[in-house]
Amino acid sequence: MTTAALILGVQTTADAATRKVRVPAQFDGSWTITAVTSDGPCSVSTSYQVQIKGSDASIPGDEIDIAGGVSANGAVRATITKGSNTVPITGRLKRQGVGTGTWRTSGGLVACSGSWNARRAG
């Protein structure tokens, strides 16, 4: 879910808005998400911290809209939108504290795609 924020190059600030996505409680905790670009002019690799608590995933950022989430079996399906850029992401989180998936921008001025991985940080 936060991968798209990484892909779009969103810079966080102390007073940034927080958007939430529903996720199952077994995925609660801090996660480090790394997005890697395999095609297009987006940043080669970007990492981001995401906090999941009480079935909500928070992404600090400005003007980011998120639809979708994580199912009880860990399947990730979401679309993150910033301005005219839309980033559908899919993948899976595992209870062991890792996850992988893919992303691809659609619409907007920039066409990029790649993969993401997640690791529970705490």
pLDDT score recorded for residue 2: 44
More confident residue, 53 or 102: 102
Query: Is it the case that residue 68 has pLDDT exceeding 50?
Result: yes
Split at pLDDT 50, 70, 90, the class of 39 is very high
pLDDT score recorded for residue 78: 80
Which is it for the CA torsion 27, 69, 82, 42, positive or negative?
positive
pLDDT score recorded for residue 96: 93
CB-CB contact of 48 with 2 (8 Å)? yes
pLDDT score recorded for residue 16: 39
Q: Look at domain 3-120 and name its CATH class.
A: mainly beta
Domain-wise residue ranges, the chain? 3-120
